[in-house]
């Protein structure tokens, strides 16, 4: 049923996007292939940074448990499994519909018996990562609009479209901030949920396991807020990841003959990132194209967009999908040794 809903939803979004952008261009125009080669090469550091950046958060959560008991603080996490799970899970998230693939990484992380790889810990850290990524995307949107919006005509931005995306960014940004504050408040004092938990469990026995897992997730997040250096490293690597994303986008725009500034690419990353929050079709069909259509509309007056916009959107989609497939193959190789390790009890 989820596949059917995903396919129908993706088709509807794709049909809407096709009214503003040629989804399948008759030919791919790449007047500057050197830039495309550079963009493809950037897929390697892009994928590696994305995959490994949660390691400090997993370490911080596991270290708190060891303080209460005992254990080897030098073997809290398995970076090979962290890297492999991130590379594989990224493809799974792309391919499965309705963002069902988000459960893949916690399950893959739990293959390792290390203290930082408990299922609840992995689920909590991945959920926090998603919320913070949403905030990064919103910040990039406002950074791009702030840098280019003051000279909208000169920078090639369409004022009406710019205003619409600014309003969307404010709404979505407010939602992510509220969600982050809620998670922070609950994880700092999980006992605040006890009354609601008792009320729910008295009326639905099945909710006992749900609440138990949710409280384990909140407990796993509690030490992260005071992780200090670990949290800082996560934020630095996340900023680097989004910088690489924008750089790859800018290189691809240049390859397609679009005379874009780097901040134009930052705006495109933000617009596509916001669109990808929609639970559209398999392989992000629909939501990605909607974001690209919105980007082309936003940058409509930038030199080269009219001629190269469709090629840019198609190449960027293929680069994302095929790059994810290639990195997932590497990730599968990294995960293979974990199959011989004992599973955590």
**What integer pLDDT is reported at residue 151 of this predicted model?**
57
Q: Where are the domains of the chain?
A: 32-339
User: Among 88-92, 187-191, 293-297, which range has the highest average pLDDT?
Assistant: 88-92
Query: Percent of the chain having pLDDT more than 70?
Result: 86
**What integer pLDDT is reported at residue 340 of this predicted model?**
44
Average pLDDT over residues 161-166: 84
**Cβ distance 257 to 154 under 8 Å?**
no
**Cβ distance 30 to 311 under 8 Å?**
yes
171 against 75, higher pLDDT: 171
- What are the φ/ψ torsions at residue 108 (nearest 5 degrees)? -70, -40
147 against 104, higher pLDDT: 104
**What integer pLDDT is reported at residue 58 of this predicted model?**
94
Nearest CA among 253, 295, 302, 257 for reference residue 274: 295
Query: Percent of the chain having pLDDT more than 90?
Result: 52
In angstroms, rounded to a whole number, what is the distance separating the alpha carbons of residues 82 and 342? Answer: 17
Written as one string, the DSSP assignment of 25-51 is: -SS---S-HHHHHHHHHTHHHHHHHHH
pLDDT at 69 over 60: no
User: Among 2-6, 176-180, 216-220, which range has the highest average pLDDT?
Assistant: 176-180
Place of tokens 């290189």: 251
Place of tokens 């899970």: 89
345 against 305, higher pLDDT: 305
pLDDT digits (tens, 9 = 90+) for 220-252: 888 888 888 889 999 999 999 999 999 999 999
The whole-model pTM stands at 0.88
């Amino acid at each position: 049923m989820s596949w059917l809903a995903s396919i129908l939803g993706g088709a509807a979004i794709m049909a809407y996007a096709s009214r503003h952008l040629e989804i399948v261009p008759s030919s791919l125009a790449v007047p500057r292939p050197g830039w495309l080669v550079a963009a493809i090469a950037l897929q390697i550091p892009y994928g590696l940074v994305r995959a490994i950046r949660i390691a400090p958060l997993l370490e911080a959560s596991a270290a708190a448990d060891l303080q209460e008991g005992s254990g080897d603080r030098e073997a809290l996490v398995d970076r090979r499994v962290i890297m492999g799970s991130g590379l594989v899970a990224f493809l799974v998230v792309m391919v499965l519909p309705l963002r069902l693939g988000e459960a893949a990484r916690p399950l893959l992380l739990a293959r390792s018996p290390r203290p930082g790889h408990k299922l609840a810990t992995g689920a909590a850290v991945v959920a926090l990562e998603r919320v913070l990524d949403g905030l990064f995307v919103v910040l990039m949107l406002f950074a791009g609009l702030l840098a280019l919006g003051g000279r909208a005509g000169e920078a090639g931005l369409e004022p009406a479209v710019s205003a619409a995306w600014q309003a969307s960014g404010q709404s979505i940004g407010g939602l992510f901030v509220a969600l982050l504050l809620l998670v922070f408040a609950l994880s700092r004092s999980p006992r605040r949920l006890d009354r609601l938990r008792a009320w729910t469990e008295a009326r639905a026995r099945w909710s006992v396991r749900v609440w138990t897992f949710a409280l384990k997730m909140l407990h796993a997040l509690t030490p992260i807020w005071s992780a200090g250096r670990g949290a800082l490293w996560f934020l630095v690597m996340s900023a680097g990841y989004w910088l690489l994303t924008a750089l790859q986008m800018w290189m691809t725009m240049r390859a397609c003959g679009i005379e874009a500034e780097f901040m134009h690419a930052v705006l495109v990353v933000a617009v596509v990132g916001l669109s990808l929050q929609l639970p559209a079709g398999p392989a992000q069909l629909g939501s990605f194209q909607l974001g690209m259509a919105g980007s082309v509309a936003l940058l409509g007056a930038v030199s080269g967009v009219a001629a190269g916009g469709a090629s840019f959107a198609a190449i960027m989609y293929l680069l994302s999908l095929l790059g994810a497939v290639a990195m997932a193959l590497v990730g599968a190789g990294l995960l293979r040794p974990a199959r011989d390790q004992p599973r955590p009890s």
